[in-house]
Amino acid sequence: MPRSGDSTRECDFKIHQRDHFHCRYCGLDGTKSFANWTNLSWDHLLPHCDPRRDEADFIVTACMCCNSSENQYFREALARSLKFENMTPDELVEQRQPYVTRTRNNYQTFWEANVRNLDTIYEARPCESTQTVLEEGWRLGADWL
């Protein structure tokens, strides 16, 4: 196998291979494009205090969005009555899934309101100044202004 030239990516490879290069939360398929593959990371299913945390069985493939979208997960575990003992990796993924999905849905709502189709504003007026583009965005109700 040719080497990637990056030791982190090569360590991830075994985890990604086991998970068929799919994000365990959203299903992003790393085999479909180079961009997808570079977005794959790995996600710990157990908190820092758990001695099994770094075992491969308790690390899963996750895209960077899913991996970072619930960064309060372990900190909020007690308040949410989450448990980690005596659970299988699949059960741990299932437990985390709704929190990741909720955050992803919030991101999608934000993207739809503030990012989607902005390229048409820029492409339609390539010679106009940034100020004009911003004014047009404001007129259209973009929340990013």
- Mark out the alpha helices in 22-63 (DSSP H runs): 34-38
- Angle at the Cα of 68 from the Cα atoms of 64 and 71, rounded to 5 degrees: 165
Q: Is 23 in the site for Zn ion (CB under 5 A)?
A: yes
124 is written with which tokens? 């339609």
Helix runs in the chain, H state only: 7-18, 34-38, 64-69, 89-114, 118-124, 130-139
Task: With contacts defined by CB under 5 A, name the span among 24-32, 38-46, 83-91, 133-141 that binds Zn ion.
Answer: 24-32
Q: Which is nearer to Zn ion, 23 or 92 (CB)?
A: 23
Question: Applying CB under 5 A, which part among 42-50, 62-70, 85-93, 134-142 lies near Zn ion?
Answer: 62-70
CB of 140 to Zn ion, least distance (A): 30
Residue type, 92: L
CB of 92 to Zn ion, least distance (A): 16
26 is an interface residue for Zn ion by CB under 5 A: yes
Instruction: Phi first, then psi: give them for residue 141, nearest 5 degrees.
Output: 90, 20
Dist CA 92 CA 68 (whole Å): 16
Q: Check binding of 63 to Zn ion (CB under 5 A).
A: yes
Q: Which is nearer to Zn ion, 25 or 73 (CB)?
A: 25
CB-CB contact of 59 with 39 (8 Å): no
Among 15, 40, 45, 66, binds Zn ion (CB under 5 A): 66
Counting contacts by CB under 5 A, is residue 60 touching Zn ion? Answer: no
| Residues forming the site for Zn ion (CB under 5 A) | 23, 25-26, 28, 63, 66
